[in-house]
A and B are shown apart, each in its own frame.
Chain A
Amino acid sequence: MDAALQELRQRIIEAHAARSPLRLRGAGTKDFYGERLDGATLDMRGYRGVVEYEPSELVLTARCGTPLSEVETLLQSKRQFLAFEPPGFGGDPTIGGVVAAGLSGPRRAHAGAVRDFVLGAVLLPAHGEPLHLGGKVIKNVAGFDIARLLCGSLGILGAILQVSIKVLPLPPAQATLRFELSLPQALESFNRWAGQPLPISATAWWRGQAWLRLSGAQAAVSAARARLGGELLEARVGDALWRSLREQTHEFFRAGTAVWRLSLPSTAPPLTEVATPLIEWGGALRWYASVQPAAHWRALAAAAGGTALHWRGGQAGQRFHPLSSAVLALHRRLKTRLDPHGIFNPGRLVAEL
């Protein structure tokens, strides 16, 4: 057995026996994310490297500690990419951290989220025997889909050792268009465009300007440009915009106040006058920088059919939108069954687990 794996396994078996919590950690680019950090740090970066990549299979398998930059450089060399555009928040996350956090970038509404691309995973649970879940093929319905359950689990079910991810060919052509639109106009336009056969790969709105990215065959991008109008941005400018949204280096995120992340039906009307949002995902993701209390955002989001997450900054307090009692009960039973002594990232995803 690989020495790095052997060490991880040993630490986990000991922690389980001693009932002492572990804090699983990759590059730490998302330490800010989640309810709380607790336990002795278990650094996952030692177990790294791309295990298998065959471009014609559209699948890449890598160990958890592999830096995202290494994965993306390798894919780029074969003109492929991770279509869910995982954010690194300015750093270089590990691929295990990308999956554990389950956060996706600007393409999410059109291409899908991390969980839509994860085909399989190796999980190291509390008993220390690695579990091979899912697989390396696109169609696979053998066994419960625990590999996808791990996406966004923030490590509470065990250490993600390895992941197999579906990759896609880079689109041959790309263009970013800019429009002057009010917020209601932008929401209406984003939803209307999404209902038409257009190669849209991302949308955003902020302070009276809307941006739309087209990605696909040259002919499709050209035809869509002609149909939609708007101002064509220089490729460099367009790419920088989407990168700033993905990495959250955009000016919006420099506000000193708390940032709230609202996940809503894309057709929800503008919610409030108290703050101007940054809109992504065709209206389904709305960011607010605001001093309003948590109760304000939770109530607004819930009334619109969504949830509010306290993203960063501001006062301490519960980060995630509360779960319904029935769903919380399922979380509790899953956690108890898979991590009976609660050693993995306690309280990180759900405060009481």
Chain B
Amino acid sequence: MTPSELAVDESRFSEASQAPPPGRRAAVASALRAWLPADALLTRDEDLKAYECDGLAVFRQPPLLVALPRTEDEVSAVLRECHRLEVPVVARGAGTGLSGGATPHAAGVLLSLARFDRIVEIDSAARVARVQPGVRNLRVSEAAAAHGLFYAPDPSSQIACSIGGNVAENSGGVHCLKYGLTLHNVLGVRGYTIDGERIELGGRALDTPGLDLLALCIGSEGLLLVVTEVLLKLLPKPELARVVMASFDDVGKAGDAVAAIIAAGIIPAGLEMMDRKASQAVEPFVKAGYDLAAEAILLAESDGTTEEVAEEIAAIEQVLRSSGATALAVSASEAERLRFWSGRKNAFPAAGRISPDYYCMDGTIPRKSLGHMLKAIEQMEQQHGLKCMNVFHAGDGNLHPLVLFDANRTGEWERADRFGADILELCVRLGGTITGEHGVGLEKLNSMCVQFSAAERAAFFAVKRAFDPPGLLNPGKAIPTLARCAEYGRMHVRHGQIAHPEIPRF
């Protein structure tokens, strides 16, 4: 399908804030009432308010109504009715997402999977967990611990975020380099397409015939299907984990040390970096013992058997020393390991303490460009008149710059938004991507126009329409319409080369 053929139908429902026609709420509620118990439907404005945003609170929009089904039959019925009535459907897990992927549609049903909160089965012999999508990420590892197993993906929000949301976003965490993303740790899903049809993808066998639709659906941001059950891979818990903390007097040297560790044939379980602004923000808060004079701090974790960890830690220390680390510390106990990590894990709340608001970015770049990116961000701070502290999943080149701003000051959010977009465009120029693990959602639609050509975006819409012909599942998210990119393109052309760079813009 060519871009022009797609241009017409891709725009349907893409404007999430467009108000529904009068009487629509009553009509849709009455259709759903035939299938849902009374307590599974919220229609009063004050109840809808609780669902008006996800973790990216700058986007707020109450839905037409909220459905809270308990069973798969109820999910199927909600989808069938919405399909029949042409009502958009936005699925929501715990609502912790950071890209507006679960921001409601004004004329749509917000389908909460919160009541799908059961761990159905843990099969320790087969090392799998069968869970409902509303189960919190951390609960899986807690339940698997009794069997000596764990679920590897551990996004920072793992206390609160749900497995269904992890599947929708292909969530990562601090251990992706060694253990992979959600994609690598989900064996199968059961879900429903917009017509209410049940779909099973993947399963306990490793290979399934046909196209790998499971891989396609993971990270599809609720645009292709609504997942109702997930089969997770569990891994044996390593006997031991230890972390090396290294200080550097230059961010470039720290970036080079990351590349040197990988080049030495070491795949640490975690490899994280913080700049001085980040360590200074978190230290008073968590007292992790960070070297506040260091321009950058690296945390490198090794896990495995006692012998393996001893061997790997020694190798990591050697590389860090020869890369110019100014100080090194190795955790001597589990308590100390957790203390070293506590600052990194609390970087977001720390940003919230030192600034009224912060805007978390999520680009990925080749590791070799880490130093370059940090220096560029320093220049952008001047340009946009805002501070930015940096925490990186350095091992996989995934950046989380936190742009600090005050939403109550006129124009600051707009500047933060522009700052973020500039970072993402530099990510694309450096050969990376605009989102490593948070998803596109509503937030990065413009940046998608920079990363992908019209033909590429048309291919995404082709996939979307194959699963969801009427375009009702989470419309207006993840893929920008041609019209939107044309609008954005008036200021920018592809690959971030700003047209007329001599003209100042605000």
Contact = CB atoms under 8 A, between A and B. Distances in A.
B378 interface: no
B411 interface: no
Contacts of A199: 304, 308
A26 B301 CA distance: 42
B371 interface: no
B18 interface: no
Given A169-B265, A170-B265, A223-B307, A143 B205 contact: no
B451 A116 contact: no
Among B2, B170, B200, B206, residue most surrounded by chain A Cβ atoms (within 10 Å): B206
A142 B212 contact: no
Nearest to A125: B459
Given A284-B206, A305-B204, A307-B205, A142 B451 contact: yes
A59 B460 CA distance: 24
A107 to B, nearest CB: 12
B236 A140 contact: no
B215 A327 contact: no
Interface stretch (B82-90, B134-142, B426-434): B426-434
Contacts of A54: 366, 368
Contacts of B198: 326
Nearest to A307: B209
Contacts of B15: none
B304 A217 contact: yes
A149 to B, nearest CB: 5
Interface string A206-248: 0000000000111110111000000000000000000000000
A334 B366 CA distance: 32
Contact of A219 (B215, B310, B464): B310
Contacts of A129: 453, 455
Contacts of B126: 191, 265-267
Contacts of B183: 116, 145, 148
B407 interface: no
Interface stretch (B22-30, B343-351, B392-400): B392-400
Among B433, B437, B451, residue most surrounded by chain A Cβ atoms (within 10 Å): B433
Contact of B263 (A55, A115, A328): A55
B465 interface: yes
Nearest to A324: B200
A146 B310 CA distance: 40
Contacts of B452: 132, 142-143
A54 B452 CA distance: 24
B489 interface: no
Contacts of A224: 305
Interface residues of B, number: 99
Given A132-B456, A337-B1, A139 B364 contact: yes
A139 B396 contact: yes
Contacts, number: 280
B398 A139 contact: yes
Contact of A137 (B149, B199, B364): B364
B368 A56 contact: yes
A211 to B, nearest CB: 19
Given A139-B436, A327-B213, A305 B205 contact: yes
A309 to B, nearest CB: 7
A223 B308 contact: yes
Given A267-B125, A281-B206, A102 B462 contact: no
Interface string B206-248: 1111111101101110011000000000001111000000000
B206 A327 contact: no
Contacts of A326: 193, 197-199
B204 A56 contact: no
Interface in B379-423: 393, 396-398
Contacts of B216: 144-146, 148-149
Contact of A265 (B172, B204, B432): B204
A323 interface: yes
B149 A330 contact: no
A285 interface: yes
Contacts of A145: 170, 183, 215-216, 218-220
B305 A220 contact: yes
Nearest to A157: B211
A141 B267 contact: no
Interface string B67-88: 0000000000000000000000
Contact of B211 (A191, A331, A336): A331
A146 to B, nearest CB: 7
Among B205, B433, B439, B455, residue most surrounded by chain A Cβ atoms (within 10 Å): B205
Interface in B163-209: 169-170, 172, 176-177, 180-181, 183-184, 193, 197-201, 203-209
Contacts of A217: 304, 307-308, 311-312
B123 interface: yes
Contacts of B251: none
A331 B210 contact: yes
6 contacts: A133-B459, A141-B437, A169-B262, A216-B308, A284-B205, A330-B199
Interface of B: 1-2, 123-127, 147-149, 169-170, 172, 176-177, 180-181, 183-184, 193, 197-201, 203-213, 215-216, 218-220, 223-224, 236-239, 259-260, 262-263, 265-267, 304-305, 307-308, 310-312, 364-368, 393, 396-398, 431-440, 444, 448, 451-453, 455-457, 459-460, 462-467, 469, 478-479
Given A267-B125, A305-B203, 20 more contacts: A56-B367, A79-B265, A102-B212, A109-B206, A112-B180, A137-B431, A139-B364, A139-B437, A142-B433, A148-B183, A148-B215, A191-B125, A195-B147, A219-B311, A223-B307, A264-B205, A267-B123, A307-B208, A327-B200, A327-B201
3 closest A-B pairs by beta carbon, nearest first, are A219-B307, A169-B265, A139-B436
Interface of A: 54-59, 79, 102, 108-109, 112-113, 115-116, 123, 125, 127, 129, 131-133, 135-146, 148-149, 151-153, 156-157, 168-170, 172, 191-192, 194-199, 216-220, 222-224, 263-267, 281, 284-285, 305-307, 309, 320-324, 326-331, 333-334, 336-338, 340, 349-350
